[in-house]
Amino acid sequence: MLGMIFIVVLLTGGTYVACRKAKPIYESSVTILVKQPKRQTATVQEVSADRSLEVFLKTQRELILSDRVISRTMVLLESPPLRETWRQARQVASAASPEARAEALAGLASVIKQIDERADAIVNERQEDLRRFRKSVDIRTPGGEVVGMSEVFTVRVRLADLPGFKPGQRARTAVDLLSSCYLDRYWEVQSESVRDASAFVRQRLNDLKTGTLDPANKALNDFLNTKLGSAAPTTQPDTALIPADVVILEQLLKSGTEAGAQIIRTRFEQEKIRLGTELAHAQALQQQLAEQITDEKIAKLITKSRVDALEARVMVLGEPSKDGKEKPGRQEELAQITAELATMTDEPRIIVPEEVLRNNDIVNKMKKKLADLIIDRNKMQGQFAPTYRQLVDLYIEIARAKLEIVEELKAEKKALDVKIKTLTAQQDEVTRELVRLTRKLDAISVLLPEYERLKSDLQMARTSYARLEAELLQAQADEQQARKATTIQVVDTAGTPDPERPVIPWTPVYTVIALGVSILLALAYAFLADHFDHTLRNIQEVERYLGTTVVGSVSKAGRRIVV
C-alpha cells in the first residue's frame, strides 16, 4: 500500500516538477493563402485542377524547407541589427512609389546579398543547426497529407526561447521571418525560372534553324540543281535528266528503288504488250478479209454496169406490147437474163468475218437484207417460172446487195491497213521510250541514295523544328501564366504565444498522463509484491502452507504491551 502510494506520488510529482523546470518551447504559426489563376492556354497539357494545386503546394513545402530559406531565416533570427536593416529595406521597397521602386529594390537586394553571405556560411558549416531548425518547422494543410481542395496552408515553428527574447517571442519572430523569406524566395525563383525557360527554348530554336534546318534545305536544293538540269554533263541528249524528273525521284523514293524502277518499267511494257496484241488482232482480221475478197472472186462477180444493163433490158422486156401480143423471144431472153443473174446469187460465196459484222453496221444490215432476199427467191423459185418478172427483179436485187457488201468489205480492208500502220508506229515509239526510260532510271538510281539521305535529313530537321516551336509556344504560355502568377498571401500575422502555456511541456496533460501511468505501475507493483511475498499473513495461509492448526492469533497493538 505504501509502496503504491509512493510510486504514484513520485512519478506524478516528478513529472510535474520536471515540466516546471523544463525549458519551455513555444509555437507560433502563420496561415498562407494560395490563389492560382485559371489556366487558359490550350497548349498547356492540363493536369486536373486539384492535382496541379497539390503539386504546387508540395513545391511550396520544398521551397520553405529549402536550405536557402531556412538559412536566411536563421541569419535574421540570430542577428537583430541585420533583421532591423532588412525589415526597413523591405518596408521601403513595398512602400516606394513606382519611380523610386527600382532603387528601393536594389537596396533590398544588397541587404539580401549580405544575408546570403552569412546564410551560405550556415549551410556550409552548421549543418546540424540547420537540420534542427528545419525540424522545428512544420507545414500543414487542413485535411492532412492529401491536400486536394485546400488553398490554405499553415507554417508552424516551435522554438525554445533564448536570451534576448521575451517569452514566446522567438517562435513568433521566427515564423514571421520564415514566411517573409519564403515569399521573397518564391518571387525570385518564379521570375528566374520563367525567364530562363522561354529564353532557352528560343535560343535552341534559333540554333536549330541556322544549324540544321537551313543547311539541310540548301544541301537538297544544291543537289537537285547540279544533278538535274542543264548544268549536268550528259552524253546522250535524249536521256538527259531534267528538273521535272524530280517526280520520278519522288516516286522511286516512295516505293523503294528497285521496286519503283520496276513499276515504272512495267507500265511501259504493259503498254507495249497491249499494242502488240491489238496489232496482231488487226492483222488477223485483215488476213481474213483478204481471203474473202480475192481477185479471183471479184472477177467472178458481174460488174455493176452489167447489172444496170440487164435491169434496163428487163424493164424493156416487161413493157406491154402495143398490140397486146407478146413479143416473140421475150420469154427466152428473160430466161437468159435470169440464168445469168442466178450464177451470181450463189457464186462466189463471200463469208463476212464476225468481227466485221460486229463493228460495221452497214455490212451487217446488208448481210441480213441479202439473206432475206435469198429466202424470198427460194420461195418464188418453186412457185413461178424463172421468167416471172418479180423473180427476175429479186435476182437483180440480190446481185446489187452482194456488190455492195463487197464494196464495203473492200473499204473495211483499207481501214484496217491504216490502223495496222498506226499501231506499228506506236509500238516502235513505245519500245524506244522504254529503252530511254531504262537508261534514265539507271542514271537516277545512282542519285537516289544521296537524295534519300538529304531528304530524310531535311525531314528530321523539320520535325524537330516543329517540336521546338511547340515547346516555345508552351514556354511563352507559361511566361504569360507567370505574369499573372499564383498569388500567395500571408493571411494572418503570427500571434505571440502565451508565455504561460508553452507547447512543450504541456504541464497539466503531462501530469495527468503521469498520474495514469503511475497508477498502472503501482497496480503492477502491488500484484508483483503480492506474488513474491512469502510471509504468512493470516490463518488461512498458515493452514494452507504449513498444514498446522493455528492455536491463536494476537493482533498488532500500536505499542508493545504486556497484558
Partner 1 sequence: MTGAQSARRRPLEKAMVLTESTKSMRRVRRSLRGEIGHLWASVFFAPERAAPRTLLVTASERGEGVTQIVAGLGIVGAESNAELRILLVDFNLRHPALARVLGVQAGAGIAEVIRGEVPLSEAMCPTALSNLRLLPAGHRLDQPLGLLRSQALREVLGDLAAQCDHVLIDAAAANRYPDAQTLTGLVDGTILVTRAGETRRETVAEAKKRIEQNRGRLLGVVLNQRRFPIPGFIYRRL
Alpha carbon 453 to its chain's center: 25
- Closest distance of CB 531 from partner 1, Å: 14
Q: How far apart are the C-alpha atoms of 493 and 175, rounded to whole Å?
A: 9
**Is the Cβ of residue 349 or residue 534 nearer to partner 1 in the bound state?**
534
* CB neighbour class for 108 (10 Å; exposed up to 12, middle 13-18, buried from 19): buried
- DSSP character string of 36-70: PPPP--SSS-PPPHHHHHHHHHHHHHHHHTSHHHH
433: number of Cβ within 10 Å: 14
The reply to whether 5 sits near partner 1 by the rule CB under 8 A is: no
The reply to whether 2 sits near partner 1 by the rule CB under 8 A is: no
Residue 488 CB contacts under 8 Å (≥ 6 apart), including other chains: 32, 33, 34, 35, 60, 183, 186
The reply to whether 563 sits near partner 1 by the rule CB under 8 A is: yes
341: number of Cβ within 10 Å: 24
The C-alpha cell at 463 is: 520535325
**Is the Cβ of residue 322 or residue 560 nearer to partner 1 in the bound state?**
560
Q: How far apart are the C-alpha atoms of 100 and 328, rounded to whole Å?
A: 151
- Closest distance of CB 547 from partner 1, Å: 9
Q: How far apart are the C-alpha atoms of 354 and 561, rounded to whole Å?
A: 164
- Closest distance of CB 530 from partner 1, Å: 11
**Is the Cβ of residue 346 or residue 530 nearer to partner 1 in the bound state?**
530
The reply to whether 163 sits near partner 1 by the rule CB under 8 A is: no
Cell 418479180 -> residue: 390
**Is the Cβ of residue 231 or residue 562 nearer to partner 1 in the bound state?**
562
The reply to whether 48 sits near partner 1 by the rule CB under 8 A is: no
- Closest distance of CB 8 from partner 1, Å: 19
Phi, psi angles (nearest 5°) of residue 381 = -50, -40
Residue 137, H or E segment: strand 137-140
- Closest distance of CB 524 from partner 1, Å: 19
**Is the Cβ of residue 97 or residue 549 nearer to partner 1 in the bound state?**
549
* CB neighbour class for 356 (10 Å; exposed up to 12, middle 13-18, buried from 19): buried
**Is the Cβ of residue 50 or residue 541 nearer to partner 1 in the bound state?**
541
Instruction: Tell me the per-residue interface mask from 475 to 514 with partner 1, x by CB under 8 A, - otherwise.
Output: ----------------------------------------
**Is the Cβ of residue 235 or residue 548 nearer to partner 1 in the bound state?**
548
**Is the Cβ of residue 324 or residue 558 nearer to partner 1 in the bound state?**
558
**Is the Cβ of residue 247 or residue 551 nearer to partner 1 in the bound state?**
551
189-214: burial string, b at 16+ Cβ within 10 Å, e else: eeeeebeebbeebeeebeebeeebbe
Instruction: Tell me the per-residue interface mask from 520 to 559 with partner 1, x by CB under 8 A, - otherwise.
Output: --------------xxxxxx-xx--xx-xxxxxxxxxxxx
The reply to whether 321 sits near partner 1 by the rule CB under 8 A is: no
Site for partner 1 in 55-84 (CB under 8 A): none
The reply to whether 38 sits near partner 1 by the rule CB under 8 A is: no
Residue 76 CB contacts under 8 Å (≥ 6 apart), including other chains: 82, 83, 86, 115, 177, 181
Instruction: Tell me the per-residue interface mask from 176 to 205 with partner 1, x by CB under 8 A, - otherwise.
Output: ------------------------------
In the complex, which residues of this chain contact partner 1 (CB under 8 A)? Answer: 534-539, 541-542, 545-546, 548-563
